């Protein structure tokens, strides 16, 4: 077969890339907003002010002086990080195969809109740094990789659950002759983690007050001072079980099982499965449980992208047409009932139809391994930050989206 579709090396266009582009545009519409006041704090607190935990970004911006507290300046940096994350998604889409399929499913779900909505939060930067660290490991640059991993941990403790597990899989996948000593790659990040736990003592009211006064003197008083209030406690103080039983039964356990089915049989599948599920461990440290689900999906996406042979390249027209027929039927049913689960199943069928047609997945892989995850991802519920929700396709939400785009960067949201 000469025409290998999206999965083939010589193809420049396919149905799945077009579907993915449309879904990306919809995710941007459904989720994008200007950086909120809470997220600005991640780029403002610094080691200089006594904030050991999460203080790296503010330290890097400290040479700007009072510009570090200017919402417009910080929002510009945050918008650039979102742009970097979007470039990463384009790179992942070009991998084809299961990577492109999972990306399309993610964009069709709440996770895609969540990615656009959490602009300004450190997750997006951590995803880019994690991808860079894994690439550096595979490229035989252990010292540069170790620096990237240490930076990830110092940006946010989430790096321990995202960057380190994925980099470990990349390191384990190397031949013995190319594998650097583990201490070289992971030692600095582990030392950074010990630093967080050893020096991240609760800050005093005087330290927090001095920081707030500095922001006020710069003409930009803190609009969300409750952010720095969390530094009155240590990471150990936040330890607990933050998933409720319904999340556990309807989202967490099905997600873990479906990811196990996707990775089973692949090289180092047990390590890949564990690394993909590692962000769920953040449920012991924080209550943003939807956020941990989102990071788990992104971790799985990055792990799938590491495979050397991303796609079969063989079209499956019959399977594609069958999935397309299911999509049409589900679209009609969704329009008639307005049921969210019917619409999520429609998104799954649409993406699988495009994947079969382009050869990104074979019917055996798509229906045997990928189907549970394909049905689950669009149905996942991921709450947004700051009281936001996904935009609907109505006049009021459309007008709100246009107003969001027209508003000056850095001044649209005080939440």
201-218 tens-digit pLDDT? 788 899 999 999 999 999
User: Model's pTM, two decimal places?
Assistant: 0.92
Per-residue pLDDT of the chain (415 residues; tens, 9 = 90+): 333 333 443 344 688 999 999 999 999 999 998 898 899 999 999 999 999 889 999 999 999 999 999 999 999 999 999 999 999 999 999 888 889 999 999 999 999 999 999 999 999 999 999 999 999 999 999 999 999 999 999 999 999 999 999 999 999 999 887 887 889 999 999 999 988 877 767 888 999 999 999 999 999 999 899 999 888 887 777 788 889 999 999 999 999 999 999 999 888 999 999 999 999 999 998 889 999 999 999 999 999 998 754 455 577 777 788 878 888 887 777 777 777 778 788 888 899 888 888 888 888 887 788 899 999 999 998 999 888 888 888 888 888 888 888 876 655 455 5
Tokens of 262: 């996707």
- Number of CB atoms found within 10 A of residue 409's CB: 15
Q: Using a CB cutoff of 8 Å and minimum separation of 24, what contacts does 209-214 make?
A: 210/49, 211/45, 211/49, 211/50, 211/51, 214/49, 214/69
223-239 tens-digit pLDDT? 899 999 888 887 777 78
Q: What residue segments make up the domains of the chain, in order of their start? A: 15-221+232-384
Dist. CA 167–CA 242, nearest whole Å: 26
Residue with tokens 């649409």: 350
Dist. CA 15–CA 61, nearest whole Å: 43
Task: HSE, CB side, 13 Å, CA atoms: give it for residue 121.
Answer: 18
- Give the pLDDT score at 8: 42
| 290, 382 contact by CB (below 8 A) | yes
């Amino acid at each position: 077969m000469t025409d290998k579709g999206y999965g083939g090396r010589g193809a420049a266009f396919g149905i799945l890339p077009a579907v993915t582009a449309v879904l990306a545009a919809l995710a941007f519409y459904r989720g994008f907003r200007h950086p909120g006041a809470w997220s600005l704090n991640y780029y403002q607190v610094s080691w200089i002010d006594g904030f050991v935990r999460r203080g790296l970004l503010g330290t890097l911006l400290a040479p700007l002086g009072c510009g570090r507290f200017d919402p417009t300046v910080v929002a510009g940096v945050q918008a650039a990080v979102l742009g970097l994350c979007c470039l990463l998604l384009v790179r992942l889409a070009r991998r084809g195969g299961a990577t492109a399929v999972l990306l399309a499913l993610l964009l069709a779900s709440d996770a895609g809109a969540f990615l656009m909505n959490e602009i300004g939060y450190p997750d997006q930067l951590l995803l880019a740094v994690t991808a860079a660290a894994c690439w550096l490991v595979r490229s035989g640059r252990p010292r540069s990789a170790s620096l990237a991993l240490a930076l990830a941990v110092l940006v946010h403790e989430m790096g321990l659950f995202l960057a380190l597990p994925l980099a470990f899989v990349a390191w384990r996948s190397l031949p013995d002759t190319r594998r650097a000593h583990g201490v070289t790659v992971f030692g600095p990040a582990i030392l950074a983690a010990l630093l967080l736990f050893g020096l991240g003592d609760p800050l005093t009211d005087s330290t927090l007050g001095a920081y707030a006064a500095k922001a006020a003197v710069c003409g930009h008083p803190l609009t969300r001072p409750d952010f720095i209030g969390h530094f009155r406690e240590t990471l150990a103080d936040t330890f607990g079980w933050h998933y409720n039983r319904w999340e556990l039964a309807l989202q967490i356990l099905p997600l873990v099982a479906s990811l196990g089915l996707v990775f089973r049989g692949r090289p180092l599948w047990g390590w890949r499965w564990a690394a993909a599920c590692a962000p769920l461990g953040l449920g012991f440290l924080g209550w943003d449980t939807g956020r941990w689900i989102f990071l788990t999906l992104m971790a799985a996406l990055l792990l799938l992208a590491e495979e050397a042979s991303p796609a079969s390249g063989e079209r499956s027209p019959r399977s594609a047409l069958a999935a397309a027929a299911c999509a049409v039927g589900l679209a009609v049913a969704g329009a008639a009932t307005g049921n969210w689960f019917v619409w999520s199943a429609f998104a799954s069928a649409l993406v699988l139809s495009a994947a079969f047609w382009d050869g990104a997945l074979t019917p055996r892989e798509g229906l045997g391994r990928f189907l549970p995850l394909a049905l689950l991802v669009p149905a996942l519920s991921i709450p947004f930050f700051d009281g936001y929700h996904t935009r609907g396709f109505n006049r009021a939400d459309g007008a709100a989206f246009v107003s969001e785009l027209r508003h000056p960067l850095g001044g649209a949201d005080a939440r």
